[in-house]
Structure 1
């Protein structure tokens, strides 16, 4: 079990609420998960002609912002290996001091080629991007080329039954707020290796993948990913890019998520709870 993570004070807020029980009302204090915008900027180009631009803004729970940024850049195909990312800093040239920790600048290697016209467009992972499913899947292949092993790894079906309980037991911020998604990496034997929480399910996964990317641990072929909610196309795309072979979820997958998983060679299991689950793609990896 990983060591407990000390939660940053910016991850939650204290509020005053009126609690109603039956016909009675009392004043009490409550804790809510924080939600603030994170602006991701990139620096790129030759050393003598560096340029900077805003790449994206996402609503997230503060904490592990560098991991979130690294995971986003990696799963969107802007960086493919650790040397592509020179450094991550909270941007110093932000007018309001209180907003500086909401702007992260990623310095990219000067030799890294960027498709600037593509950066002008909305990322294809947006649920409102307006492209069809076939185009979305082809875009992921073209930009990131996810390839998963055609043989193995294998996991015992019983292992998946244990994962939701282990995930829930380690959700420290959820215990206080009740309002967060979680993503976690497990070994093939079911050992919890890494967990991150966020108000956005895609942010939680980017934080997990970003942490592994910064450590030089991708691709993550020998890992199981468990997410606390449903499985969207976006989560399948990010998992495939990171080389994750088995994606399990407490909730249901979407039809496009399953189609993408079948194309990428990713095993997807849904409704993993209460001693049962459904396998939607590549069930051959589950072997007793």
Structure 2
């Protein structure tokens, strides 16, 4: 009994020793900045920028309509921009899924040598700076860019297409950037797919659509959900792609946060906007955790 307690005590100390570094990193670089943002969101904006250390919950009123005082007004444009950000993030997830889901099956059936080469190509964009890749899309999408030049030269269009500084350009840019984040979780799930279950479904007379909906899709759903969450979270708060490819015509919440901190120096309002995005992400994650736990509870032992 004493030996067992000693072993458990050693394991507990070893686990504590292993968890201490990551706990310190999270505490210093995540929890402390998050606490600062929460605090700033309830402080009064300074007259010349920064914050005044006075209780001021009315920053949220400008976004949500409550609470408000005599100096703040509800501005629906902020909610409109937030919902536009949600729409663009969801479309980014959907388009990335359309590309990555069939591609994951295609890559998984390759020989090991070709598979490794394709996986290297998928991760290759990470070796280039993000700004350089966005500038490349600027050159491709502008009226005198490569795409319009090719389309005009083959006679498909008479006038250049107005692709730049639009929601289309923003979604295209974000799909390009976040495609590897969608592909890798799906591929990891597809790689482990038990094809004997697919063959059994076919032997029992299921049509290809029934096999996909009842066998393949449920088995690969964890990869789809994981990839969707990984893409949705950064897409919702992204500000670099809308700033370059959307210009002033496409505004997302990330652009509002950037301007609040760097241009208007309204730090409390920028913090409130940032927490609105974070709250939306947390609700999404909680919903997914609850859904996953319910499915696990229904699964037979």
Shorter-chain TM range is under 0.3
- Give the structure-2-normalised TM-score: 0.24
More helix by share: 2
Structure showing greater radius of gyration is: 2
- Give the structure-1-normalised TM-score: 0.25
- Which structure ranks higher in relative contact order (CA pairs < 8 Å, sequence separation ≥ 6)? 2
